[in-house]
Amino acid sequence: MSRGMNLSINGQSQVPPGFRFHPTEEELLHYYLRKKVACEKIDLDVIREVDLNKLEPWDIQEMCRIGSTPQTDWYFFSHKDRKYPTGTRMNRATTAGFWKATGRDKIIRSGSRRIGLRKTLVFYKGRAPHGQKSDWIMHEYRLDDGAASNNEIIGVCPAGDAMSEEGWVVCRVFKKKNYVKTLDSPQSPSGSLAEARLHSLSGGNSAILNQILSYMGRTCESKSDLLDKLNVVVSDGANLNKLSYQTKDNLSSRFTHLPRLGSSLGPNDHSNIKPSCYQYQPFDDVFLRADESPAFQVNQHGMIRDWATLDRLVASQLNGQAEVSLQKQQSYFVDDPSMSTSLPPHDDEKVPFPSQKRLTRPESHHDRDHDHQQNLHMYGCDNDFWGITTSTSPSSLSDGPLRYLSA
Amino acid sequence: MGDGVANLPPGFQFYPTDEELIVHFLHRKALLLPCHPDIIPDLGLYLYEPWELQGKAWCGGSKWYFYSRRTVDRVTRSGYWEPVCQEEPVFTSSSRKQVGFKQCYAFHYGESPHGIRTSWTIHEYRLSGGNSSTGRSSRRKGQKIIDPSTWVLCRVFDCDDEHGGDSSGGVELSCLDEVFLSLDDDEVSFPS
């Protein structure tokens, strides 16, 4: 089409430098689209008609060029009714891909009056549903002032066209800003704020998970010394949980016997405990001792020396037991979502003793065998005691402590 | 109004690229050549509050443009401008030649460094080249000669307006668009 040359004389652009066609939404709707729908002549054909099925986004650039100044967005009219005679879904497929609507239509207002709606679409290369998202974005504007019929406002097209004039939309196509490639685009982003926002949002769910995992990894590195020395041996389902671990000072393995499921858990109750080779460390003893010592160092037995160890203990208990029946002084430490993503601080001496709260139990109830297997698996990975990376189901994130952090 | 500006149909507005601001406007101003269109005012050394610019600076697309020779001590009566990121180079799109620099500042109420950040943002453009460094040193010596390299071109806007308003589609997406685009319509994808 030769209409593109209207703005230049002898190749010289009539548009002064710094100026470009960049209409407000109100101008797009109220001036251009209204005139188009009413078949009124628009003074300078800066916006052309385009058949969206036949043009790829990158072809639209050529087709919709205005003058010779560099552009970052391109405008055109498109007609909706041409796509499907029936139904409401639009066919926006091209040879190379398709346009997919995303999000809700946004209401466009002029002052306080509603004048239209804007739909956002993204171009995917390939075929649905396996398309590859591209950086091409389209805003599709249509007139809609909420009235029952737009005909009275728009008027009847004198040409008597069979095509409904209400099917016209005006579109803006642009390439999403990829902040990595600032050299390619004429206008630079407005600072690191927008950059950070774009990066964090464009990553989506996976970015958040990566952040969580990397944070956990970082905090674990600082405790790698201790964690390396913790070896956990979990017995089979018939037996009690045993923990054997080594302390920094004492490399000989010690065992602690945790009370059997369902057994009464008085400190003197040894009836269910296998004797001899194990050094019995009643579970409640651990807590009582911790109670007495705010610094939480069980120095006498050298058993549990910091929060990480206790966390493991607790986690193993949680996963190993379908029911937790303990007396009140044996309430677990809090299953606090904030704590689950931050391992105990490095310097244990400074950690105040956390208030004891009732734990939320794991939502799934496994039998003990399965749980012991899980424990084995759990303690195989250093920082995975909440069982996140071992789980393959997406719902693992929606259960458990990290559910508060999902996107 | 500048030449030719009034004749443009609706939808045309002053919406320059970084390159245009530096090449067509700042460069000519620094060489004391007339600018076409001569629409951007020179506010000299005086630093206005961002909200005072209406009527004093050239407005295009809810942004205010002006020249300034105030390049140090960006303090006003109510606050101060603080840089938000590193200075970025500006290149021509055709030859990839560097023509200048762009620096972003955010306006803070109060006194540095304890001010409260606002959404007022300034993009300050300056020319590149050897004389820019000598320009700074000559200012420090208190010389009265106006060194061309001391000119900067500023664009001031309220970045809340920018995202809440309409014309977000051109180069930057509004926050809401970003949220929508990061979600799929029919399925929500979990990390695998």
- Identify the pLDDT of residue A349: 44
Q: What residues does A169 pair with on adjacent strands?
A: A78
Q: Is B146 contained in some domain?
A: yes
How confident is residue B182, by pLDDT bands cut at 50, 70 and 90? Answer: low
A131 SS3 class? coil
Comparing A343 with A78, the larger pLDDT belongs to A78
ipTM above 0.95, yes or no: no
Cα–Cα distance list, B86 to A96, B3, B23, B103, B130 (Å): 39, 36, 21, 7, 19
A351 SS3 class? coil
* Residue to test with chain B: of A24, A170, A197, A389, most B Cβ within 10 A: A24
- Identify the pLDDT of residue A291: 42
- Identify the pLDDT of residue A110: 85
Comparing B143 with B11, the larger pLDDT belongs to B11
Question: Quick check: A94 and A125 in contact, CB under 8 A?
Answer: no
Q: How far apart are CA B66 and CA B44, in angstroms?
A: 9
* DSSP category for residue B24: I
The single-letter code of the amino acid at B109 is Y
Q: How far is CA A401 from the centre of its chain?
A: 16
Q: What residues does B146 pair with on adjacent strands?
A: none
Q: How far apart are CA A132 and CA A138, in angstroms?
A: 16
Question: Quick check: B82 and B73 in contact, CB under 8 A?
Answer: no
Q: Is B145 contained in some domain?
A: yes
Residue length of chain A: 407
- Identify the pLDDT of residue B163: 53
Q: How far apart are CA A201 and CA B175, in angstroms?
A: 9
Pick from A143-152, A169-178, B5-14, B48-57: least confident? A143-152
A119 SS3 class? strand
The tens digit of pLDDT for each residue in A79-95 reads 875 555 555 556 678 88
Structural domains in chain B (count): 1
- For residue A27, the chain B residues in CB contact (below 8 A) are 10-11
Cα–Cα distance list, A390 to A89, A233, A234, B192 (Å): 41, 18, 18, 12
Q: Is B8 contained in some domain?
A: no
Average pLDDT over every residue of B64-68: 91
- Identify the pLDDT of residue A213: 54
Comparing A74 with A44, the larger pLDDT belongs to A74
Q: Which residues have CB under 8 Å from B33's CB, separation 6+?
A: none
Q: Is B7 contained in some domain?
A: no
How confident is residue A314, by pLDDT bands cut at 50, 70 and 90? Answer: confident
- Identify the pLDDT of residue A231: 40
Average pLDDT over every residue of A155-166: 51
Q: Could you tell me what percent of chain A has a pLDDT over 90?
A: 6
B117 to chain A, any CB pair closer than 8 A? The answer is no
- Scanning B39-68 for CB atoms below 8 A from A yields 60-61
- Scanning A361-400 for CB atoms below 8 A from B yields 394, 397
Beta carbons within 10 angstroms of residue A278's beta carbon: 15
Inter-chain contact A18–B176, Cβ cutoff 8 Å? no
Comparing A144 with A343, the larger pLDDT belongs to A144
The tens digit of pLDDT for each residue in A283-296 reads 444 444 444 444 44
CATH number at residue B32: 2.170.150.80
Q: Is B2 contained in some domain?
A: no
B88 to chain A, any CB pair closer than 8 A? The answer is yes
The tens digit of pLDDT for each residue in B120-142 reads 999 999 988 644 444 444 444 44
At A379, phi and psi to the nearest 5?
-80, -5
User: How confident is the prediction for chain A on average, in pLDDT?
Assistant: 59
Cα torsion A260, A266, A267, A268: sign: negative
E strand or H helix that includes residue B182: helix B175-182
- For residue A20, the chain B residues in CB contact (below 8 A) are 12-13, 15-16
The tens digit of pLDDT for each residue in A226-283 reads 444 444 333 333 333 333 333 334 434 444 444 444 444 444 444 444 444 444 444 4
Comparing A319 with A52, the larger pLDDT belongs to A52
Helices B175-182 and A192-222, interaxial angle, to 10°? 50
Q: Is B10 contained in some domain?
A: no
Domain that holds residue B180: 18-187
Highest mean pLDDT (candidates A65-74, A299-308, A330-339, B180-189): A65-74
- Locate A40 and state its tokens: 């009124």
Pick from A40-44, A182-186, A398-402, B31-35: least confident? A182-186
Average pLDDT over every residue of B146-169: 68
Q: What residues does B100 pair with on adjacent strands?
A: B90, B127
Comparing B115 with B163, the larger pLDDT belongs to B115
Average pLDDT over every residue of A303-329: 59
Give the gap in angstroms from C-alpha A113 to the nearest C-alpha of chain B. Answer: 15
- Locate B124 and state its tokens: 């300050």
The tens digit of pLDDT for each residue in B10-33 reads 888 888 888 889 888 888 888 888
Q: Is B89 contained in some domain?
A: yes
The strand ranges marked E within A55-157 are 73-79, 97-110, 113-125, 132-143
Least Cα distance to A67 among A118, A25, A12, A105 occurs for: A12
Tell whether the model's pLDDT for residue A388 goes beyond 80: no
Tell whether the model's pLDDT for residue A398 goes beyond 50: no
Q: How far apart are CA A165 and CA A82, in angstroms?
A: 11
Average pLDDT over every residue of B60-69: 89
Average pLDDT over every residue of B108-112: 89
Inter-chain contact B18–A21, Cβ cutoff 8 Å? no
- Locate A55 and state its tokens: 């043009």
**Which pTM does this prediction carry?**
0.51
- For residue B34, the chain A residues in CB contact (below 8 A) are none
Alpha helices for B1-151 (secondary structure H): 18-20, 27-30, 131-140
Q: Is B83 contained in some domain?
A: yes
